[in-house]
Amino acid sequence: MRLQLSKLNPLLDSLRDHPLYAASLADVELPLPSLDAFTAIEPIRKTDLLAERLGDPSRLFAMPRQSYRRFHQTSGSRGWPMSVLDTAEDWAWWLECWQYVLDAAEITSNDVAMMAFSFGPFIGFWTANDALVHRGALVVPGGGLSSLARLKLMQQQRCTVLCCTPTYALHLAGVAAEHDIDLASNCVSRIIVAGEPGGSVPAIREAIQSRWNARVVDHAGASELGAWGFASDDDSGLHVIESEFIAEFLVFDDRDPTSRVPTSRSAQPGEASELVMTNLGRHGGPAIRYRTGDIVRPQWDHDLDCRFVHLPDGVLGRSDDMMVIRGVNVFPSSIEAIVREITPTAEFRMIATRHNEMDQLEIEIEPEPGGTPSHSCSLDQDLSELLRERLALRVPVSIVESGSLPQSEGKSRRWVDQRPSRQPPSAERQTPD
């Protein structure tokens, strides 16, 4: 805590004139005597960061443009991507944070890593790529290749590490099955995953590990924040890098959408809560008390060797994705874990709708690659029964044609939210942009 405070106070002092924080810091006396006083600063949300025009960077990045050396972008909320910038010092800080992830994966200079992402402007595994190079590993870029070509290249180069999303790891396993490629006999021993929940969810992790005969190593980060989480020793969840981030776990009362500052309280150990983060080393893009929208269950008192706060099962889901169906809180990651118990690699999609002010959920699923006709015929029934058993809910499941659902090497497109917003028409005007 003393280390966090020693980094936080000079950072806050440098933000007195920052357009995002000037108002909140106006009445704050610095230096803060303790982290308890930190709560006087108003939390910020994604909507506070968005630029007014296409091509403008997020409002986090207030330095002169010539100060920055790296450009990326993330999906925005105004119909265009949100630009993200990093100074040379900030990028070096990203790579230092990634060393925790690489340590957890036991990466050495003897490893050969396949980077199975597009190498486009989205940040994806760009920081992982540079961190692996910095560590001395041989890095194999997989951008621009088909899934089959990536699998063949991994075999040719005897890759020992694969970096991708959990969804794409399962997709690659499906492609391998279609082409009679035996993944269990390849050299991959670790799969570093990120970008979506799943790497710390036992059913999803087991589905990946059983296909690849490799350890799944979870990681968490965000374009707005940096790489903030790494796998615990027992792979049961994530640790927050508390030397570089301040993590708060808050239960918000967001029932009044017109309230700019909803009431909140600190979570109890193991209680589902929203992760609120402050990055301490990204001075060109400081996120102070940023509401990530990620739902986690923090544990401070645990028996793991690393004493950083532990998040069992990692990120459980996102607050804006949660559905309440007949009184049951349901997250997409929970549904996927159940699906993977029935079919480890089949493509599927969850569709959320609302009827008579009640949330509804249905699932579309393709036959499993290489599955028998009899297995495909019972897939919808088996999945419906398991969902009913685990969630005490009836969820309609329908079989769709193979190859008809969208696939992505990036963040999963399996969650389709068709629910109308409950916000009043004036809410957007009352939320600063």
Q: What are the structural domain ranges in the chain?
A: 323-417
Instruction: Calculate the alpha carbon distances from 295 to 2, 141, 177, 191, 271 in Å.
Output: 27, 32, 34, 24, 10
DSSP per-residue letters across 157-203: TT-SEEEE-HHHHHHHHHHHHHTT--GGGSS--EEEE-SSTTTTSHH
Please name the amino acid found at residue 136.
Answer: G
**Residue 333 contacts by C-beta under 8 Å, 6 or more apart in sequence?**
197, 198, 201, 204, 315, 316, 317
User: In tens digits, what is the pLDDT along the chain, a chain of 433 residues?
Assistant: 899 999 999 999 999 999 999 999 998 999 999 999 998 898 998 888 887 777 778 889 999 999 999 999 875 544 567 789 999 999 999 999 999 999 999 999 999 999 998 888 888 789 999 999 999 999 999 998 999 999 999 999 999 999 998 889 988 998 999 999 999 889 999 999 988 777 888 888 999 999 999 999 999 999 999 999 999 999 999 999 999 999 999 998 865 555 556 788 999 999 999 999 999 999 999 999 999 989 999 999 999 999 999 999 999 888 777 777 766 777 787 788 889 888 888 889 999 888 766 788 899 999 877 655 555 568 888 999 998 888 878 889 999 998 888 776 656 678 888 887 644 333 332 332 2
Assigned superfamily of 323-417: ANL, C-terminal domain (3.30.300.30)
The rounded distance, in Å, linking the Cα atoms of 255 and 253 is 6
Per-residue tokens: 20: 């995002």
